[in-house]
Amino acid sequence: MADNTAVDVEVGVARVKSPLARSENQFAHFLLRSAVVGVAAGLVAVAFRLTVTCGDAWREWVLRWAPSFPGFAWLVLPVAGAVAAGLAGWLTDLAPETAGGGIPQVEAVLGSEGGLNWWRVLPVKFLGGTLTLSSGLSLGPEGPAVQLGAAAGQAVSQGMRRSKAEELHLIACGAGAGLAAAFNAPLAGVVFVVEELRRNFSPYALGGALAASVTADIVSLAIVGPLPAFRVAQLQPFVLGSLPFFLYLGAATGILGAAFNWGITTTLSAADRLAGVPRWVRAATVGFSVCLVGYFLPQLLGGGHALVMRVLGNPAGYTLGWLLLLFWLKFGLILLSYGAGVPGGILLPLLTLGALSGAIVARGGAFLFPVLEDLAPSFVIIGMAAFFVAVVRSPLTGIVLLTEMTGRYQYMLPLLLTCIVAYMVAEACGSLPLYEALLQRYLHKEEQGGRTVSVWGGIAVVELVVESGSEASGRLVKDLQLPSDCLLVAVVRGTREEIPRGGTPLHEGDVLRVIAPEKRLAAVKRDLLRLTSCPH
């Protein structure tokens, strides 16, 4: 009997399962495995959140204890911050892929352009991220939570001996679950996977992300509690006359978001020129500098959650000049902190900049339109979403994320319009989305570091995974329209490697090994990904 049939004999009658029934059964099992990934990623992300909270408490204790050293009180926090950041830099050298937030690294793995060693990433990212955030650097825990969740997804996949294609799906599910647990925002975790990581609304991408994010959020609620990330008092009703100011906020955050992206890439390029200086020395120097500023302005330390809560709770307590000073100081500290090359995310800091932007517009507009004084909390919330959209260029994720984080829905019209304007203005400024720019830098450095294998002078080896539902899945090699300047030299299936012939069938999970000229590598990868990736 053919391999693709399943027979069950009952009372002498043979019943053949249909391919559809088998497919539904496989999908149900995949959703169950995605839920297991959600539990694992949720536990890791919540543990990381709680550890970082302890680190924040330690930093506040150091601030309170510093006056015990008369004349040297201003040195205590900077020295402590330098030690913690330096240790984080030393740890990062053990696993360089853990530097930064980790989202570009996850995107590289999902694009079959990078590797993920969960057994190395989990401890280094967890400990390094804890030290980084405890030191007071202007970075956040959400990016690390995404990479930790992705590593948990890979660990579960390999523990269950899943195919390479399913492993990539489970890595994406774990990343979304990490974001969901970090922000108490399960729907944002789902949208983040399909809009930013996979850019794919296939049943496996959407269903797996939903199962993982929901279970991760349940874990988070059971351990941390049901409160939203930002607790907001009841907002004032929307006033139509305030709409032009929201549009102005969108334009302002669009320009500032493009400037922020330029600043991040410029800072990283400057840091590259200091590659000869040990990472721990650079990190310690940055930690000392940031904490020196933070000793006099403690609200600028860390990701900025406490600062956002203060601005949300009492926006009238900040003058326009004070808000502008806080914005530009925070802007500079984020760039400096990210350039240190230690584990730490950028999502919460950019939300802090968005909150300050919204408060600045509301405070300035109140001179012309006094009712804006009462609407300031709404401007703060919408400013966070708009700045996120301008920087990341993922509008659905930004809108859903801020709606879930604040639990407020009544300002949907200005929220949508402001985010659309921010997106359009940032695009018009010509800046790349942040994670796309960081991904390009990461892949360029990986190729320079020898991760792309070169043979025979100028010939490179490329490996891609055949995903479920892709054009290549289920087809013969001779039926593929491969780029003319590449050659398929091997098909890896499980533990077997075979030399392909025209009649060799390709299946989901197969790894295709292709050689191509290095000068044409980027174009060849693009064409091959169209064949091996799920359609959008």
**Would the CA dihedral through 215, 393, 89, 156 be positive or negative?**
positive
385-415: b (≥16 Cβ within 10 Å) or e: bbbbbbbbbbbbbbbbbbbbbbebeebeebb
Q: What is the pLDDT of residue 447?
A: 47
Q: What is the pLDDT of residue 312?
A: 87
Which residues does residue 476 pair with via DSSP β-bridges, in sequence order? 505
The CATH superfamily assigned to 453-532 is Regulator of K+ conductance, C-terminal domain (3.30.70.1450)
The Cα 391–Cα 386 span in angstroms is 9
Instruction: Tell me the mean pLDDT in the region 72-79.
Output: 91
Residue with tokens 């450095």, as numbered in its chain: 445
Phi, psi of 425 (to 5 degrees): -70, -45
Instruction: Tell me the mean pLDDT in the region 197-224.
Output: 89
Closest to 52 measured CA to CA, from 138, 133, 161, 118: 133
> What are 167-187's pLDDT values in tens digits?
888 999 999 999 999 888 899
Token representation of residue 387: 């700045």
Instruction: Tell me the mean pLDDT in the region 426-444.
Output: 86
Residue 253 has pLDDT above 70, yes or no: yes
What residue ranges do the domains of the chain occupy? Answer: 23-223, 240-440, 453-532
> What are 331-353's pLDDT values in tens digits?
999 999 999 999 999 999 999 99
Instruction: Tell me the mean pLDDT in the region 481-502.
Output: 82
- Category of 321 on φ-ψ map: left (φ > 0), alpha (ψ -120 to 50) or beta: alpha
Among the ranges given (4-8, 99-103, 199-203), the one the predictor scored with the smallest mean pLDDT? 4-8
Q: What is the pLDDT of residue 247?
A: 94
Q: What is the pLDDT of residue 355?
A: 95
pTM above 0.95, yes or no: no
Instruction: Tell me the mean pLDDT in the region 138-156.
Output: 94
Instruction: Tell me the mean pLDDT in the region 127-140.
Output: 95
Token representation of residue 462: 């490329």
- Category of 208 on φ-ψ map: left (φ > 0), alpha (ψ -120 to 50) or beta: alpha
Same fold, 23-223 and 453-532: no
> What are 28-53's pLDDT values in tens digits?
889 999 999 999 999 999 999 999 99
> What are 386-411's pLDDT values in tens digits?
999 999 999 999 999 888 888 777 78
Percent of the chain with pLDDT over 70: 90
Q: What is the pLDDT of residue 331?
A: 97
Q: For the domain bounded by 23-223, which CATH number is listed?
A: 1.10.3080.10
The Cα 447–Cα 462 span in angstroms is 12
Residue 419 CA: distances (Å) to CA of 85, 236, 375, 425 = 35, 20, 18, 10
Residue 490: which pLDDT band, with cuts at 50, 70 and 90? confident
The residues, ordered by sequence, that sit 6+ positions from 512 with a Cβ below 8 Å of its Cβ are 463, 464, 465, 466, 472, 488, 490, 491, 492, 506, 528, 532
Q: What is the pLDDT of residue 445?
A: 58
> What are 256-284's pLDDT values in tens digits?
999 999 999 999 999 888 878 999 999 99
Instruction: Tell me the mean pLDDT in the region 118-145.
Output: 94
Q: For the domain bounded by 240-440, which CATH number is listed?
A: 1.10.3080.10
For the chain, the average pLDDT equals 86
Residue 534: which pLDDT band, with cuts at 50, 70 and 90? low
Surface-to-core class of residue 21, CB atoms within 10 Å of its CB (0-12 exposed, 13-18 middle, 19+ buried): exposed
Q: What is the pLDDT of residue 315?
A: 79
